[in-house]
Amino acid sequence: MAQLTDDCFAHGGRLMRTDEALALLQEKIDCVTATETLTTADALGRILREDIVAPGNIPPHDNSAVDGYAVYFDDLNAEGPTRLRVSGRQAAGQRRIEAPARGEALRIFTGAVMPDGPDTVMMQEDCTLEDGHVLIPAGIKRGANRRDAGEDVTAGSKVLFNGQRLRAQDLGQAAAVGRAELQVSRPLRVALFSTGDELREPGEGLVAGSIHDSNRYTLMGLLKSLGCAVSDLGILRDNADNIVSALDQARRDHDLVITSGGVSVGEEDHVKHAVETLGTMHAWRLAIKPGRPIALGQIGGVPFVGLPGNPVAVVVTYLVFVRPMLLRLMGGTSMPPQSFPVRADFAHRKKKDRREWVRVNLQRNGDGSWNAEKFPRDGAGILSSLVESQGLIELPEDLTQVEPGMLVDYLPFSEVIG
Ligand code: AMP
Ligand code: MG
């Protein structure tokens, strides 16, 4: 792809709305991953990089939907039962045999090709068999229990699309149209760092003033669940030279560099200087809560994303901005996660012109609808609030007050976090 230019993420320092930020990312970010051929069985979770067209009809031939007897509907009595001689037998996987003569029935099984002539299948459970004849009760509809050629997929139609992320049923569909191999994106190579003198690895003891690094573990999970090949590059100390050499190394063999922490404007926030030494960086002041600053830039043409340090801000900014960015880098078409309306079971004030995400749990009402309860501890540093809640309510910029009973937009974590 074309390398990113110095000013590609420039944005004049104004407070930026979510839609504006997403539009800018959409415009500046392109697919960078090469394609590879995988067997269909191995392609789960990958981005498909070709359209898949069905070469033939599915099913390829009219066939029976049940075990029973294929008959000519016009041979059946409208009132009362019909007695037909059974001639012939057609099982699944056999070539089509001669059609029975008019006035006769054919023994047939689920998935077996319909012979040329009979148009209707009687379920065996509804029939009685007596000395080579079948007794068929009245009341069946013409064409019942028969599946038409092409009723699932018509020959020549597109069944899977370039840019879609392959789910289990998509692999089944690829196999159904006969594809043993698929062209997919190679995994996006992501370099991941944490920054901060206070951070220690889990397993290491804590000394005064230190905490365990959690963001890297959250981010590794998020990135891997989207199919990225993550290089865990550890913790960077708050030391400019150290950060410069680590980032310079990382950009050489990765498609994207992600850090968390160190991108506010404090004296100890060295990431900005380091990235600017190697390339360019623009701090985006986003009109969001939680989150606020994220940094976007490039190091030698490789995109760089600096996420905030606070653990909840990391997840929210990842879900809203980084996830769509990753999908785009991998050649995916836009796949907005599906949120749905639920009733707020809480009151909440918010600032106008800012988009906010509130952590909630759902409760089922007597009428089957859902109520969202706000998680009580809502600081941007409260990681346990993400563990103990089920999803996020997204509150739009214009809104200033949530009242109990109001319809609000709910995004389950299960939609976006693997
Ligand atoms: P910073 O943006 O570096 O000032 O960090 C903001 C807050 O997030 C501070 O309280 C940090 O200690 C915390 N923080 C930064 N990085 C991590 C991390 N990797 N894991 C857990 N907390 C972090
Ligand atoms: Mg820090």
Pocket around ligand 1 at a 6 A CB cut-off: 194, 196, 198-199, 211, 213-216, 260-262, 264, 308-311, 381
CB atoms within 10 A of CB 211: 11
Strand partners, 190: 230, 256
- Strand bridging mode 133-136 / 15-16: unpaired
Residue 261 CA to ligand 2 centre (angstroms): 5
Residue type, 251: R
pTM for this predicted structure: 0.91
Q: b/e string for 103-137 if b means 16 or more Cβ within 10 A?
A: ebbbbbbeebbbbeebebbbebeebeeeeeebebe
> Ligand 1 test: best mutation among 310, 316, 384, 387, most atoms within 8 Å of CB?
310
Strand partners of residue 357: 394
Ligand 1: atom nearest CA of 213 is 20
Give distance in angstroms: CA of 411 to centre of ligand 2: 29
Identify residue 257 by its one-letter amino acid code. Answer: V
Q: Provide DSSP, 208-227.
A: TT-EE--HHHHHHHHHHHTT
Among candidate residues 328, 337, 272, 273, the one with its CA nearest the CA of residue 305:
272
Atom of ligand 1 nearest to the CA of 194: 19
pLDDT tens for the chain, 418 residues long, are 456 877 788 776 678 999 999 998 889 899 989 999 999 999 999 999 999 999 999 999 999 999 999 999 999 999 999 999 999 999 999 999 999 999 999 999 999 999 999 999 999 999 999 999 999 999 999 999 999 999 999 999 999 999 999 999 999 999 999 999 999 999 999 999 999 999 999 999 999 999 999 999 999 999 999 999 999 999 999 988 999 999 999 999 999 999 999 887 777 778 888 999 999 988 888 999 998 789 999 999 999 999 999 999 999 999 999 999 999 999 999 788 999 999 999 999 999 999 999 999 999 999 999 999 999 999 999 999 999 999 999 999 999 999 999 999 999 999 998 6
Report the residue among 197, 199, 305 best suited for mutation to probe ligand 1: largest number of ligand atoms under 8 A from its CB. 199
